[in-house]
A and B are shown apart, each in its own frame.
Chain A
């Protein structure tokens, strides 16, 4: 999806020189807070074997803090590692997390849902000029051509509410909001056309569950789609079950999804899942004036009741 849509503009380099400062600041802070006992572990990024790649890293020894980095490949939303879905990772104690501005939304959402407590985590915020989108070549620098779609519409390049913010933002080139344009295209479709679009997209789903497994909000101890008494969602990768699964997931994330687009990034079948989440966010805004944001909110509209709630959907 990225590659075609981004041909809209010519590719220009994005200034990521601040990432060296960010990296330096992460390392210093991680070493300090691990050494003085402020935290027991730091969830950050380290370099992968392949040049230009990174992976999540859980560092507990101050001596290993030097391995932490920040680069245009640091795309993962690490909030995943603070949820109970990863309870074998984060066992006890105070954890520090490296968070981009966009990742802060997931942290706020998890706080709002009482999954994490602000005082129990330490947030190393990082300024971010953007990360790479899927299909980007590892060895190439960050450009407007290989930038992740979510970064093209980013409004939180400098995180707020972190314990520390590393780095200073450079100025960025103008970016076309590729995903917003794609949303508008879908919105302009007739319901039948939209149905056909999603049917085609979901037909490719192999039910690898990567979308669920990387989602900071898919922390249910038992996912509805794994339940079989009764079975709500057919488990085989066929049209009926695939459609049911993705609709169930979209509904369950409505008003909760923090828009990190991790589900879309990791989908090996290139299903543009964030469009679905964005559509739900749009509905939530129109129906309830609600937006999942940067401040922890106790209850989303789908888990609370108000006399004046829109009831037009009840037919």
Chain B
């Protein structure tokens, strides 16, 4: 029997989870925008807009301490951070573009060396996804293989219903467990129809064709045309659900301090700058090229996935109007021209 949850019970679920001691993270008003932040009560939840920053920070915070150190009477000791103290978390109200991203990032954080800061949070977090009924002119999830109804990455998935409430599906055991623990909050789904879902006004792009073009066009006038205007900030990377580059820095003194891991961006000139002053990506065009290559080629080469979920945040908030959809749409067209129809990856 399929299930549904009323708006009121959804908020009650948050209250209940908070009372049980779980960390509940969801979109919450922060000035003129919303952010995925810890909720203290059900009424904190604001679901009518896409949060300004993505949900990746539930797993990969803006800044986190990875160890601390102290020197006493000449002797230095290092204190590990106990990731076992990561609380059980429910991430609620993640849009398909946000819910899908952490699963994509599992690959980089777990190949060979395992980044337990990320992975432990992944293990301890249940994601409640939410279908989208609204898309704006920057949304392009359908262009990169997702959709407003995509459940990828969600443990429990909510679809808004006509007349209020949400249809609930549990694509994973984690989601089933969450429902099973709070049976009183879920009702049997009646005949209520789902609200019409959003339809981003974009073409579905052939990601393999885009990758094939990138394979052969490290050098292309395209990079110089697009990125001349790039201002070299990190707004795109920091709002992105899939960008995961970081820096590590010590703060404090040799006598007492912490080592911290924090977001970094390939758009910054100093990102790749050598101590000698030599910089392999010495101009902005090369940095922007790396951004596109990493998302649509390198990550695919390494992990077989695309590092973009089409959330559109980088488009909405680029200070100089760079539009990643327009870029990959152009590449898609060039790819089609180069290869003719029907050829993608070999």
Interface residues of A (CB under 8 A from B): 1-4, 48-51, 53-58, 76, 80-81, 85, 88-89, 135, 138-139, 204, 206-210, 212-214, 226, 234-238, 241, 262, 265-266, 268-270
Closest-by-CB residue of A relative to B282 is A88
User: Contact at B32–A268, with CB atoms within 8 Å?
Assistant: no
Chain B residues near A88: list those with CB within 8 A.
Answer: 228, 283-285
User: Contact at A237–B229, with CB atoms within 8 Å?
Assistant: no
User: Contact at A236–B251, with CB atoms within 8 Å?
Assistant: yes
Chain A residues near B32: list those with CB within 8 A.
Answer: 1-4, 135, 270
Query: Once bound together, how far apart are the Cα atoms of A54 and B137, in whole Å?
Result: 14
Closest-by-CB residue of A relative to B52 is A268
User: Contact at B249–A235, with CB atoms within 8 Å?
Assistant: yes
User: Contact at B249–A236, with CB atoms within 8 Å?
Assistant: yes
Q: On chain B, which size bracket covers the interface?
A: 35 or more
Closest-by-CB residue of A relative to B252 is A234
Which residue from B233, B249, B285 sits with its C-beta under 8 Å from A208? B233
> 8 extra interchain contacts, Cβ-Cβ under 8 A, other than A210-B231, A210-B235, A262-B319?
A58-B229, A76-B319, A80-B231, A81-B229, A135-B32, A209-B233, A209-B234, A238-B63
Q: Which of B1-57 contact A (CB under 8 A)?
A: 30-33, 52-53
Q: Which of B261-291 contact A (CB under 8 A)?
A: 262-263, 265, 268, 270, 283-285
Give chain A's interface secondary structure class: loop
Q: Which of B192-243 contact A (CB under 8 A)?
A: 228-229, 231-235, 237-239
Query: Once bound together, how far apart are the Cα atoms of A269 and B235, in whole Å?
Result: 10
Which residue from B228, B233, B234, B326 sits with its C-beta under 8 Å from A89? B228
Q: Which of B66-90 contact A (CB under 8 A)?
A: none
User: Contact at B320–A56, with CB atoms within 8 Å?
Assistant: yes
- Assuming A58-B229, A88-B285, A270-B31, is B234 touching A210 (CB within 8 A)? yes
Query: Once bound together, how far apart are the Cα atoms of A45 and B45, in whole Å?
Result: 39
Which residue from A135, A237, A262 sits with its C-beta under 8 Å from B63? A237
Interface residues of B (CB under 8 A from A): 30-33, 52-53, 62-63, 137-138, 228-229, 231-235, 237-239, 247, 249, 251, 260, 262-263, 265, 268, 270, 283-285, 315, 317, 319-323, 325-326, 329
Which residue from A51, A76, A204 sits with its C-beta under 8 Å from B30? A204
User: Contact at B325–A58, with CB atoms within 8 Å?
Assistant: no
Chain B residues near A268: list those with CB within 8 A.
Answer: 52-53, 235, 238-239, 317
User: Contact at A55–B321, with CB atoms within 8 Å?
Assistant: yes
Chain B residues near A48: list those with CB within 8 A.
Answer: 321, 323, 326
User: Contact at A58–B228, with CB atoms within 8 Å?
Assistant: yes
Closest-by-CB residue of B relative to A57 is B229
- A27 CB to nearest chain B CB (Å): 19
- B243 CB to nearest chain A CB (Å): 11
User: Contact at B231–A206, with CB atoms within 8 Å?
Assistant: no
User: Contact at B235–A50, with CB atoms within 8 Å?
Assistant: no
Query: Once bound together, how far apart are the Cα atoms of A88 and B230, in whole Å?
Result: 11
Query: Once bound together, how far apart are the Cα atoms of A254 and B251, in whole Å?
Result: 29
| Interface-central residue, B52, B238, B329, by most chain A CB under 10 Å | B238
- B289 CB to nearest chain A CB (Å): 13
User: Contact at A236–B320, with CB atoms within 8 Å?
Assistant: no
User: Contact at B321–A53, with CB atoms within 8 Å?
Assistant: yes
Closest-by-CB residue of B relative to A58 is B228
Closest-by-CB residue of B relative to A88 is B283
Closest-by-CB residue of B relative to A47 is B321
- Assuming A49-B326, A55-B321, is B137 touching A208 (CB within 8 A)? no
User: Contact at A50–B137, with CB atoms within 8 Å?
Assistant: yes
User: Contact at B52–A55, with CB atoms within 8 Å?
Assistant: no
Which residue from A234, A237, A269 sits with its C-beta under 8 Å from B52? A269
User: Contact at B233–A51, with CB atoms within 8 Å?
Assistant: no
User: Contact at A266–B321, with CB atoms within 8 Å?
Assistant: no
- Assuming A3-B32, A208-B235, A226-B270, is B229 touching A55 (CB within 8 A)? yes
- Assuming A76-B319, A210-B233, is B31 touching A1 (CB within 8 A)? yes
Query: Once bound together, how far apart are the Cα atoms of A184 and B231, in whole Å?
Result: 33
Query: Once bound together, how far apart are the Cα atoms of A238 and B53, in whole Å?
Result: 17
User: Contact at B229–A208, with CB atoms within 8 Å?
Assistant: no
User: Contact at A213–B232, with CB atoms within 8 Å?
Assistant: yes
| Interface-central residue, B232, B235, B326, by most chain A CB under 10 Å | B235
Query: Once bound together, how far apart are the Cα atoms of A56 and B321, in whole Å?
Result: 7
| Interface-central residue, A2, A48, A80, A226, by most chain B CB under 10 Å | A48
Chain B residues near A241: list those with CB within 8 A.
Answer: 251
Query: Once bound together, how far apart are the Cα atoms of A250 and B233, in whole Å?
Result: 18
- B56 CB to nearest chain A CB (Å): 12
User: Contact at B320–A208, with CB atoms within 8 Å?
Assistant: no
- Selected A-B contacts with CB under 8 Å, 29 pairs: A3-B32, A48-B326, A49-B325, A51-B137, A54-B321, A55-B229, A55-B321, A56-B320, A80-B231, A138-B137, A139-B137, A206-B53, A206-B234, A206-B238, A207-B262, A208-B237, A210-B235, A213-B231, A213-B232, A214-B233, A214-B319, A235-B249, A236-B251, A237-B63, A237-B262, A268-B52, A268-B239, A268-B317, A270-B31
